Amino acid sequence: MLTNRQLEILQVIVDDFITSAQPVGSRQISKKKHITYSPATIRNEMADLEEMGLLEKTHTSSGRVPSDKGYRFYVDHLLQPKRLLKEDMLQIQSVFTDQHAEVEQIIRKSATILSQLTSYTSIMLGPDVQSHRIKKISIVSLTDDTAVAIIVTDQGHVEHRTFHVPEHFSASDVEKAVNILNERLYNVPLEHFAQSLETEVQRLLKQHINAAEEFIASLTHHEPSQTKLFYGGKTNMLRQPEFHDVNKLRMLMDMMEARQQVYELFQPNEAGIHIRIGSENEQIAMENCSVITATYQAGESTGAIAIIGPTRMDYERVISLVDFVRRDLTRAFNKAK
């Protein structure tokens, strides 16, 4: 159990190191207006905090820096989320001013704004669209032998499926096909699109259009929709002193290009805000990083937000921003529904 004095000193060290990225010494702490202890007393307490594993001494300075354990203690016991500035809230809310914006547009803009406000990297995990229900299907010709099927779901997801147009497939066939698809596939879950096409809808299409089997085969020859990842500020980590080491930066950049590894950063089935610090991340590339994640609701689906920054992250501000964004996303998507 830490004494009040140790708590106070640990708080100052973490706050100062987050701001300056420089080791914090006893003399620096003693100059704080609210600190009434002598440098000698502070040094003794710092030594005890180091022995507890909450602080570390660097090789280049007599000052101390927080350890992963120290950050964890700070986050769990000392952190007080910051009240957001009005301009920050207005910038976030600007994402939702366009009433006709698609889900993907809103998420992409949210990722960009979060990266700008935090100066870290943001990653947004779009909601799982497979449970969405089909609302409307359109087909637009691209060339003589290619077209795109545009599928709009009940929750604002828009999917484009480019396919080969069969020979002898006329404009009249396209119109009939669109009418049949909209009549028969309305309110069908997106995950059942191909199955429905190849069973009951296929029989009806064969009765009314040319080359129905070829049309269906081409339209269903498409990868299932994957949950989309949206990045903001991918290169922001270049500005962090912790990543002036080229090897560390390369490992982090490679990790962010590996889709499966990025998915592992999220905890999409757990409500609330979660923080993983340094070594708590199971990936070597993330050992100098902290990740703050949160979930949001988009109708019946769940999406997630992640902020990646150095362990010397401004946790108080980032937590407030992430919480504000997730609440606004949930409110906007549920209202839209």
As assigned by CATH, the class of the 86-128+227-336 domain is: alpha beta
Domains 86-128+227-336 and 134-220 are alike in CATH topology = no
* pLDDT for position 62: 73
* Predicted local distance difference test score (pLDDT) of residue 160: 87
- Per domain, the residue ranges of the chain are 4-78, 86-128+227-336, 134-220
Q: State the fold for domain 4-78.
A: Arc Repressor Mutant, subunit A (1.10.10)
Instruction: Quickly list H helices, the chain.
Output: 4-20, 26-30, 39-51, 68-73, 86-93, 103-118, 171-185, 193-196, 202-208, 212-220, 246-257, 259-263, 315-336
Predicted structure pTM score: 0.79
Distance CA 20, CA 216 (A): 61
| Lookup: tokens for 222 | 């498409």
Q: What is the largest CA-CA distance in the chain?
A: 91
- Number of CB atoms found within 10 A of residue 172's CB: 11
Contact 244, 234 (CB under 8 A): no
In CATH, the number for domain 134-220 is 3.30.390
**pLDDT of res. 269:** 63
75: amino acid identity, one letter: V
pLDDT, residue 26, reads 93
User: Whole-angstrom Cα distance, residue 259 to residue 267?
Assistant: 15
Residue with token string 């590996």: 258
What pLDDT, on a 0 to 100 scale, did the predictor assign at position 222? 67
Spell out the per-residue pLDDT of the chain, length 337, in tens: 899 999 999 999 999 999 999 999 999 999 998 999 999 999 999 999 999 999 998 776 678 999 999 999 999 999 988 899 999 999 999 998 887 777 888 999 999 999 999 999 999 998 877 778 899 999 999 988 899 999 998 877 788 889 999 988 888 999 999 999 999 999 998 888 888 888 878 889 999 998 888 999 888 876 555 668 999 999 998 888 888 888 888 999 999 988 888 988 886 567 789 999 999 998 889 999 999 999 998 877 788 999 999 999 999 999 999 999 999 999 988 775 4
